Structure 1
C-alpha cells in the first residue's frame, strides 16, 4: 500500500513551497496510526511533519524554513 502525505494543514506556518512524501506502510499499521491521530484530533500529515521536525532537531540538522531563522 502506498500512502501519500501532503502538506495541506494551515494551522502551522507553511513553507513557501511544499513537497509530497510517499511511503509504504503495512495496512494494519496505517489503520492504527490513522485511528490514533483521529483520537488525538490531529491529521496524519500533522503528526508526520512534527516527527520529521523533531528528528531533524534531534540530529542538529538545520533547514531554510526552520522557525526563528
Structure 2
C-alpha cells in the first residue's frame, strides 16, 4: 500500500492553480488526489525496464487516457 507521508512542493501560476482546483472540486476530488493519479500514471507510462511494486502497477490503467486512484 502507498505511504502518504512524503511532501512535494511545486510552484505554479496562481491562475492555473485556481482553474485546476476548480476543476478538481467540480469532480469531487482534491488537488492531491488528482496529482497522485497523474504521478502514478506517469510512472507506469515511463518506467521502462524498472521493477515496479505490484501495488503501483495495479492502481492505474495503462496508456495515456484516464487514470484510476485505486
TM range (shorter): 0.5 to 0.7
1:48 is matched with which residue: 35, 39, 53?
35
Which of the two has greater helix per residue?
Answer: 2
**Moved >2 Å (runs of 4+):** 60-68
Q: Tell me if 1:57 matches 2:44.
A: yes
Q: What's the counterpart of residue 12 of structure 2?
A: 25
Distance (Å, rounded) in 1 between the aligned partners of 2:53 and 2:36: 14
Q: Count residues in correspondence.
A: 55
| RMSD, aligned α-carbons | 2.2
TM-score by length of 2: 0.66
Structure 1 unmatched runs, 5+: 1-12
